[in-house]
Amino acid sequence: MGVKEKRTAPATAAAADATHRHIQQNERFGAHNYHPLPVILERGEGVYVWDVEGRRYMDMLSAYSALNQGHRHPRIVAAMKEQLDRLTLTSRAFHNDQLGPFVEELCGLAGYEKVLPMNSGAEAVETAIKAVRKWGYDQKGVPANQAEIVVCEGNFHGRTTTIVGFSTEDLYREGFGPFTPGFRLIPYGDVEALEAAMNDRTVAFLVEPIQGEAGVVVPPDGFLRGAAELCRKRGVLLVADEIQTGLGRTGKLFASQWDNVRPDVLIVGKALGGGFYPVSAALADGEVMDVFTPGSHGSTFGGNPLAAAVARASLRVIVEERLAEHAAEVGAWFMDELRRIASPHVAQVRGRGLLIGVVIKDESGRARPFCEALMRRGILAKETHDQVVRFAPPLVVTRAQLEEVLPSIAEVLRTGG
Ligand SMILES: *Cc1c(COP(=O)(O)O)cnc(C)c1O
């Protein structure tokens, strides 16, 4: 089995050439909207990936938590292959035999009455935005086109023009305006600011339980609980974007559960597709979801039978392999080990479950060189913003596998490379 292979011998000149060629190709023909680490991956299994030069790496990014089940989980491979031989796409003009079971199973698992399936995370966020706005007009009596949604500084909810319009990251916004109005910003973690931002036109508070892209920012204890109580009191919907924090990543099925909060609208994506296929969804009870009527919202690929079959298998793996419980246990131990590394460069280690950020001190330079040094030692992690190295391996990672990479991580964090 590939997973037992150790890192292989240094690459040959021909293999190094392949790496160079791939990078050149992408430089020349691909748009430059990413700055990837200079590694070309060609194979993956479980927590490991291999590059075109035959070197093995531990994947500690998991495609931003889209690979919670690990690379090519055999049960999801089997489900996808089976569905590929039956039916892949119908559009929603017709029913398909996978969608019904998928929406029932997801509702049951997450505890909601209704689900609206989409593809990318950003689309599910857009779906939630449309749902709460229409709920505001239909149910709350907000005057037409006046609905407001409160969002947090440092938010990341995707890349559509509406969503980047309320980002506080200049890079995400600059040059892409004009933007959709109707959003109000507050500092992340500040319930009083949330209260001050609310008025009669406020329909929702859209929030990440932990801000992943902002650098694994964990809010003060009780923030989500307080926000949920305030929302209830003021007749405002609480919308949790759990695209990154959900489906076991933080040690609970959903990170909101750490605060015993059940959001009015729950947004999921990423690991819902098991690392195979883009599947996302917005969940809510009938009072909110019933604002949608035939034709008012849709997606050609949303809820297609291949997506539904893959998502059903992805959910079964998370539940039956107890990945959330495992993430809680292994994550707590791993975060402890990271905190025990005596490093002059580390300002803070933070996170929950297997969503962990190591904050590099400003005077130690940026996080990127640390990630490059980790890569040279067979560990793929990616900086988020300038100063944070994110450690978020697939949830199937074992303690023994993490023990194997800890000395290399310690060396990099201690020496800076
Ligand atoms: C990744 C992410 C999104 C966007 O998902 P895409 O599939 O890239 O559109 C939205 N919200 C959060 C919290 C995310 O981490």
Mean pLDDT of the chain: 96
Q: Ligand 1: does its nearest atom lie under 6 Å from the Cβ of 243?
A: yes
Ligand 1, atom 10: closest residue by C-alpha? 157
- Indicate if 156 belongs to the active site: yes
User: Does the pLDDT of residue 10 top 60, yes or no?
Assistant: no
241 is catalytic: yes
- Average pLDDT score over residue span 325-345: 98
> How many angstroms separate the alpha carbon of residue 283 from the centre of ligand 1?
16
Supply the pTM of this predicted model: 0.96
The model's pLDDT over 269-328, given as tens digits with 9 standing for 90+, comes to 999 999 999 999 999 999 999 999 999 999 999 999 999 999 999 999 999 999 999 999
Instruction: Please list the residue range(s) of the chain that carry CATH number 3.40.640.10.
Output: 74-320
Would you state the pLDDT for residue 3?
44
pLDDT at 15: 82
DSSP state, residue 200: T
The DSSP letter of residue 265 is E
29 is catalytic: no
For residue 163, give the ligand 1 atom closest to its CA. 10
Contact 291, 138 (CB under 8 A): yes
Residue 2 has pLDDT above 90, yes or no: no
Residue 8 pLDDT > 80: no
> Exactly one of 59, 190, 241, 264 is catalytic; which is it?
241
Tens digit of each residue's pLDDT (9 = 90 or more) over 222-258: 999 999 999 999 999 999 999 999 999 999 999 999 9
Q: CATH top-level class for 13-69+323-415?
A: alpha beta
**What are the residues whose beta carbons fall under 8 Å from the beta carbon of 365, sequence distance 6 or more?**
416
Tell me what percent of the chain is helix, strand and coil, each rounded to the nearest 5.
40, 20, 40
Kindly tell me if the per-residue pLDDT of 1 is higher than 80.
Answer: no
Q: Which CATH number, 3.10.180.10, 1.20.950.20, 1.10.1740.10, 3.40.640.10, labels domain 74-320?
A: 3.40.640.10
Amino acid at 355: L
Decide whether any atom of ligand 1 lies within 6 Å of the 156 Cβ. yes
Nearest to 58 by CA among 417, 343, 415, 391: 391
Q: Kindly state the average pLDDT of the residues 162-174.
A: 97
Which residues of the chain form CATH 3.90.1150.10?
Answer: 13-69+323-415
pLDDT tens digits, residue range 152-163? 999 999 999 999
Give Cα 279 to chain centroid, integer Å: 12
pLDDT of residue 18: 87
> Taking 50 as the threshold, does the pLDDT of residue 4 lie above it?
no
Residue 169 pLDDT: 96
Amino acid at 137: Y
For the beta sheet containing 379-380, the strands, ordered from the edge strand earlier in sequence to the opposite edge, are 41-45, 48-51, 56-59, 379-380
Condensed to tens digits (0 to 9), the pLDDT of residues 110-128 reads 999 999 999 999 999 999 9
